[in-house]
Amino acid sequence: MSMPTTSHKVAGARRSPAPAGADETAPRWLRHTAGVAWRLIVVVAALALVFIAVSKVVLLFVAVFLALVFTAVLRPFVAWQSKVLPRGLATGIALLSGTLVVAGLLSFVVYSIANQWTALSVQFTDGVQRIITWFESGNLPFKLTNQQVAQWITDAEAWLQQNAGHLAGQVAAGAGSVVEVFTCLALAVFCTVFFLARGSQMWSWFLDQLPARGRENVGVAASIGWYTFSGYTRGTVIIAATDGVLAFIALEIIRVPLAAPLAVLVFIGAFIPLIGAPLAMVIAMVVALAALGPIQAAVVGACIALIGQFEGHILQPMIMGKQVSLHPVVVALTVAAGTLTAGILGAVVAVPLVAVVWAIFSRMRTVDPPTETADDVSGHPDSPQVDEAAAQA
């Protein structure tokens, strides 16, 4: 009977608690909180390093981002042409078609402005005088006189004379910005050519450079991220084009001058979530107010508000579906953070980046296989996931 007792004592010794003070000085909730805090610190430090690195090469970042946008928009067209044409020729036709569309749109806007400029100047002069008379009538809580307007104009002229040298310097600096813009566009188009024509080979080469144990996870994350980014980009372009066409029709019916440029402004504003469309609406209302009067301005505001409701409740769910599932509060905070960090560029880039990160996080914590392979970044026609993803997007 002594042997079992000894064995029992040894087993009990092995199950004995840790030395005194190990657990008492660090409760479980405190250890858990400390672990979460250290992980958050690491994440914040990594994000800070990413922001610092991007701030040093903003031009490069914007060029690559634009290249990915162009690739997402043109990829279905290239994949469709690749069924009967060589990949390189299909890529060239797609890029040429996109360039012609943009050039035609800009030419139409310039022609509309030049064609209506003479009549518009007269309408604006009469409209401004009508607004001043309306302010002088005393029907509003405040009153505006011609003397006040003349004083404002005199002060503005004096300010321009005093700051002419500073303004000239800013214009000269702006010339450098124009050069940077064209350089960025050229680099984006250059990258787009290779992403469309040889994206699959480029991605395979990149995966081969990674450790073998991490290739699968990187491939899954890239597949999910590209599926979300391409769906968001194509959906945004379709929604923006629809908003622009509807705004053009509404402005033409109301007879608002510069309907085409204002519709293009609505199209561009749709790429900035939450704040882009309202800003375009305000500008269109100001033009209608100066040229036609307050009633037409109110009608323009009502029409663009209806277009916004149509976009939010019909177009967004129908086109994007569940590819980008972010709560409106998250979108608002993301746009605000992006704007405070990098201005208009940050407002445009923030939402798709957050959508991609959230999609990767949501899918990587499950065991479901990816919907689309990472090779789809090139839209390779031999990939069966390409047609499925294109049909869903």
pLDDT at 372: 46
**Surface-to-core class of residue 393, CB atoms within 10 Å of its CB (0-12 exposed, 13-18 middle, 19+ buried):** buried
Q: 272 pLDDT band (50/70/90 cuts)?
A: confident
Tens digits of residue pLDDT in 33-82: 888 888 889 888 887 887 788 778 888 888 888 899 899 889 888 888 88
Least confident of 42-56, 90-104, 258-272, 321-335: 321-335
Q: Determine, yes or no, domain membership for 11.
A: no
The whole domain housing 123 covers 56-164+173-392
Instruction: Reply yes or no on whether the pLDDT at 139 is more than 70.
Output: no
Per the domain annotation, does 239 fall within a domain? yes
Rounded Cα distance between 101 and 244, Å, is 15
Tokens coding 168? 């000239």
pLDDT, one tens digit per residue, over 293-310 is: 778 888 888 888 888 778
Over residues 224-241, the pLDDT tens digits come to: 888 888 888 888 888 888
Task: Note whether residue 25 is domain-resident.
Answer: no
More confident call, 336 vs 144: 336
Residue 38: C-alpha distances to residues 33, 50, 52, 63, 172 (Å): 9, 18, 21, 35, 48
Mean pLDDT, rounded, for 257-277: 79
pLDDT at 7 over 50: no
249/40 Cα distance (integer angstroms): 50
User: Is residue 110 a part of any domain in this protein?
Assistant: yes
H-helix segments, the chain: 2-14, 28-56, 58-81, 87-136, 146-162, 164-208, 212-254, 259-269, 276-291, 294-310, 328-364, 384-392
Percent of the chain past pLDDT 70, that is, above it, reads 69
pLDDT band for 148, please (50, 70, 90 cuts): low
Per residue in 157-191, pLDDT (tens digit) is 677 666 666 655 555 555 456 677 788 888 989 99
In a domain, 199, yes or no: yes
For residue 292, give the 3-state DSSP assignment: coil
- pLDDT at 89 > cutoff 80: yes
Confirm whether 15 is domain-assigned: no
**Is the pLDDT assigned to residue 371 strictly greater than 50?**
no
Looking at the structure of the chain, the number of domains it has is 1
Calpha distance 245→273 (Å, rounded) = 18
Between residues 136 and 246, which one has the greater pLDDT? 246
Q: Name the one residue in this structure whose structure tokens are 């569309």.
A: 101
Residue 42 domain flag: no
Residue 23 has pLDDT above 70, yes or no: no
User: What is the average pLDDT score of the chain?
Assistant: 74
Predicted pLDDT at 34? 83
Lowest mean pLDDT among 227-241, 246-260, 334-348, 362-376: 362-376
Among 196-205, 266-275, 362-371, name the one with the lowest average pLDDT. 362-371
pLDDT over 80 at 137, yes or no = no
Q: Is residue 357 part of a domain?
A: yes
Question: Quick one: pLDDT at residue 171?
Answer: 52
- The whole-number pLDDT of residue 391 equals 39
Position 254 pLDDT exceeds 70: yes
In the prediction, which pLDDT does 373 show? 46
Q: Would you say residue 112 has pLDDT above 50?
A: yes
Is the pLDDT score of 357 beyond 70?
yes
